[in-house]
């Protein structure tokens, strides 16, 4: 008999958004956090740069808002931007109270603030070049100390469990009562019933062949919400980080934007600088501009990579500000204090996602989404550097306020419908999943990457529809596995990305198409409805 868990609040995802929400809600609610891998395997842990907030007296919230709107290329929701900027400092102060230690100026109590592309001021709080690791480890420690929080590691969420509403006057047709989950240790399907369910599963950059994201970033929450009936928005806006380390043994190692904020220069293989030819802000232009410039130069020259050079800075400065990057590159035979670092763009951040209101509520009652899985309107057509972790904190707190005010602790639990696997067998063709996985990520990179055309997108859509039919048939006949669940979700997200891109007949922000190179005067959000 498959196990059923019961809780007040189910949080699917264990990054900054999910852990922050859990700590806010656990004062009065029993919380379960579902983590697909180990707690430190998500994107938060690998975030290097920092979190944007106004701490400098020469800076202003209006300036932070303006920078975000400019980076978003006219497609940001002004209310979401203002709300985020105004709540940035209180949320960072809460994080500091939890024990996160940010770098301070030498001999001063003031925080050391760095500057990244698109920002007009120094406003990035950081913990050396491993800010995400500092945040994640601190929040994990706090969560593990809390008696009302249960952690389920190595559990995949399969699908949300929803029921129709009985009242025909209800504004939402159905409500979420929990989720089916797959226990990776016992390889059994189990279930969780919850009065409130929150998706905090991160983005979908693993849909691309080259990405800075860890393996868990497979778009699970977006796909589950779509299958349950939620709208998604702006899925065509995939941010490609300009500077991932290009080395056969580097994996998905990211080179933080703060390098360019501290003066690093992008160079061609011959050593010449090229960014001033593309934008007056040069290396400090927003990420979409820098990524396209690198991509353009690589294709024009037939080069495997470009180079990021900070060797003109003081050696001790480099080693103290970027210790993680220094050690990593040195281990690969690159001394960044005297050499330029080979770099390529890679998929980094999903700017679109599940549509929510200002408190994280989705189209389905009792279902919320926070963090990269969601569409808040903050990022528009391109995310401003270091606004991502900030969004996690701000909207986790907003959702906590909403949930704490409306959760009914007296509601009785019920027995959930059992998972039916009476007609499935163990697969003896796991190679099919691997082949489909590689095919999907390759054609998404080739056809739905940094530069797009209608013909490429149509080819990609045709390929993804064929894959969907194969994977659906496979899913119906064989028992679930981690790879099958992730592939099923990635193929669904790929279709959403492609259809969103086909619907946008212009170039804006992260979506650049050779068929429609101009930007429309009127900015419109792309909304897809199941």
State how far the Cα of 509 lies from the Cα of 498, in Å rounded to an integer. Answer: 16
Q: Which tokens sit at 113?
A: 């603030």
Asked which of 305, 323, 347 is the last residue of a domain, the reply is: 347
Q: Is residue 52 part of a domain?
A: yes
**Domain count of the chain?**
2
Q: Which tokens sit at 38?
A: 């180990």
> What is the distance between the terminal CA atoms of the chain, rounded to a whole angstrom?
33
The residues annotated with a catalytic role in the active site are 287
State how far the Cα of 512 lies from the Cα of 68, in Å rounded to an integer. Answer: 19
Q: Which residues contact 457 (CB under 8 A, 6 or more apart)?
A: 447, 448, 498, 501, 502
Do 163 and 254 fall within a single domain?
Answer: no
Do 312 and 388 fall within a single domain?
Answer: no
Q: Is residue 13 part of a domain?
A: yes
Q: Is residue 451 part of a domain?
A: no
Model confidence pLDDT, tens digit, residues 243-290: 999 998 877 788 988 899 899 999 999 999 999 999 999 999 888 889
Evaluate whether 120 touches 63 at the Cβ level (below 8 Å): yes
Evaluate whether 337 touches 315 at the Cβ level (below 8 Å): yes
* pLDDT at residue 456, rounded to an integer: 95
Identify the CA nearest to 31 among candidates 112, 199, 146, 169.
146
Do 119 and 183 fall within a single domain?
Answer: yes
Evaluate whether 313 touches 324 at the Cβ level (below 8 Å): no
Exposure string of 224-236, with b = 16+ CB inside 10 Å and e = fewer, is bbbebbbbbbbbb
Do 260 and 399 fall within a single domain?
Answer: no
Which DSSP helix (H) or strand (E) runs through 345?
strand 341-350
Do 227 and 273 fall within a single domain?
Answer: no
Evaluate whether 373 touches 221 at the Cβ level (below 8 Å): yes
- Write the CATH number for 333: 3.90.700.10
Q: Is residue 307 part of a domain?
A: yes
- Write the CATH number for 388: 3.50.50.60
Do 262 and 129 fall within a single domain?
Answer: no
Exposure string of 265-292, with b = 16+ CB inside 10 Å and e = fewer, is bbbbeeeeebbeebbeebbbbbbbbbbb
Do 132 and 75 fall within a single domain?
Answer: yes
**Half-sphere CA count of 409, side-chain side, radius 13 A:** 9
Q: Is residue 463 part of a domain?
A: no
Q: Is residue 303 part of a domain?
A: yes
* pLDDT at residue 429, rounded to an integer: 67
Asked which of 390, 406, 422 is the last residue of a domain, the reply is: 406
Do 78 and 204 fall within a single domain?
Answer: yes
State how far the Cα of 264 lies from the Cα of 55, in Å rounded to an integer. Answer: 24
Do 322 and 358 fall within a single domain?
Answer: no
Annotate 287-309 with three-state secondary structure.
HHHHHHHHHHHHHHHCCCCEEEE
* pLDDT at residue 168, rounded to an integer: 53
State how far the Cα of 281 lies from the Cα of 275, in Å rounded to an integer. Answer: 8
Asked which of 331, 347, 363 is the last residue of a domain, the reply is: 347
Q: Which residues of the chain have pLDDT under 70?
A: 1, 45-46, 48, 166-172, 422, 427-429
Q: How far is CA 242 from its chain centroid?
A: 16
Identify the CA nearest to 10 among candidates 224, 310, 184, 171.
224
* pLDDT at residue 132, rounded to an integer: 85
Q: Is residue 367 part of a domain?
A: yes
What Å distances lie between residue 487 and 13, 186, 220, CA to CA? Answer: 18, 21, 9
Phi-psi region of 99 (alpha: psi -120 to 50; beta: other; left: phi over 0): left
Q: How, if at all, do strands 155-164 and 306-309 pair?
A: unpaired
Do 80 and 219 fall within a single domain?
Answer: yes
Q: Is residue 81 part of a domain?
A: yes
Q: By residue range, what is the domain housing residue 341? A: 243-347
* pLDDT at residue 227, rounded to an integer: 97
* pLDDT at residue 385, rounded to an integer: 86
Long-range contacts (CB closer than 8 Å, 24 or more residues apart) made by 78-84: 79/358, 79/377, 80/358, 80/376, 80/377, 80/378, 81/377, 81/378, 83/358, 83/394, 83/398, 84/376, 84/378, 84/387, 84/390, 84/391, 84/394, 84/395
* pLDDT at residue 46, rounded to an integer: 67
Do 229 and 250 fall within a single domain?
Answer: no
Do 194 and 318 fall within a single domain?
Answer: no
What Å distances lie between residue 374 and 68, 201, 320, 482, 508, CA to CA? Answer: 17, 9, 35, 23, 20
**Half-sphere CA count of 258, side-chain side, radius 13 A:** 29
Q: What is the largest CA-CA distance in the chain?
A: 69
């Amino acid at each position: 008999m498959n196990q059923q868990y019961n809780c007040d609040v189910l949080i699917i995802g264990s990054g900054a958004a999910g852990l922050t929400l859990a700590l806010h809600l656990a004062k009065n609610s029993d919380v379960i956090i579902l983590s697909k891998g180990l707690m430190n395997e998500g994107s938060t842990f690998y975030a290097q740069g920092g979190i944007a907030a106004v701490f400098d007296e020469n800076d202003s919230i209006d300036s932070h808002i303006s920078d975000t709107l400019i980076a978003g290329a006219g497609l940001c929701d002004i209310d979401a931007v203002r709300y985020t900027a105004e709540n940035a400092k209180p949320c960072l102060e809460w994080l500091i109270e939890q024990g996160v230690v940010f770098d301070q100026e030498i001999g001063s109590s003031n925080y050391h603030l760095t500057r990244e592309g698109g920002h007009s001021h120094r406003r990035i709080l950081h913990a050396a070049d491993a800010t995400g690791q500092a945040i994640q480890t601190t929040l994990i420690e706090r969560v593990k100390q809390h008696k009302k929080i249960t952690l389920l590691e190595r559990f995949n969420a399969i699908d949300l469990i929803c029921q129709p509403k009985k009242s025909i006057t209800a504004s939402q047709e159905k409500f979420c009562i929990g989720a089916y989950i797959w226990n990776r240790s016992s390889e059994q399907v189990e279930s969780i019933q919850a009065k409130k369910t929150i998706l905090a599963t991160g983005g979908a950059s693993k849909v691309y062949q080259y990405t800075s994201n860890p393996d868990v970033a497979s778009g699970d929450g977006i796909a589950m919400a779509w299958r349950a009936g939620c709208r998604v928005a702006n899925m065509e806006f995939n941010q490609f980080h300009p500077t991932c380390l290009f080395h056969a043994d580097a994996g998905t190692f990211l080179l933080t934007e703060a390098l360019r904020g501290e003066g690093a220069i992008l160079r061609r293989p011959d050593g010449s600088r090229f960014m001033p030819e593309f934008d007056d802000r040069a290396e400090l232009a927003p990420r979409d501009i820098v990524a396209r410039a690198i991509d353009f130069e690589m294709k024009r020259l037939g080069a495997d990579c470009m180079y990021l050079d900070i060797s003109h800075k003081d050696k001790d400065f480099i080693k103290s500000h970027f210790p993680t990057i220094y050690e990593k590159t040195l281990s690969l035979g690159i001394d960044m204090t005297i050499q330029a670092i080979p770099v390529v763009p890679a998929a980094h951040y999903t700017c679109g996602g599940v549509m929510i209101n200002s408190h994280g509520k989705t189209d389905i009652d009792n279902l919320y989404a926070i963090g990269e899985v969601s569409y808040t309107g903050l990022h528009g057509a391109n995310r401003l550097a270091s606004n991502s972790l900030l969004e996690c904190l701000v909207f986790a707190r907003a959702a906590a306020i909403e949930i704490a005010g409306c959760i009914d602790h007296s509601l009785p639990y019920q027995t959930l419908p059992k998972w039916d696997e009476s007609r499935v067998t163990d697969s003896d063709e796991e190679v099919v999943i691997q082949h489909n996985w590689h095919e999907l990520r390759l054609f998404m990179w080739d056809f739905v990457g940094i530069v797009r055309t209608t013909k490429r997108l149509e080819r990609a859509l045709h390929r993804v529809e064929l894959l969907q039919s194969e994977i659906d048939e496979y899913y119906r006949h064989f028992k679930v596995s981690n790879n099958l669940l992730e592939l099923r979700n990635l193929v669904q997200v790929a279709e959403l990305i492609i259809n969103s891109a086909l619907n946008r007949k212009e170039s804006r922000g992260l979506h650049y198409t050779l068929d429609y190179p101009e930007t429309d005067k009127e900015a419109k959000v792309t909304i897809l409805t199941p």
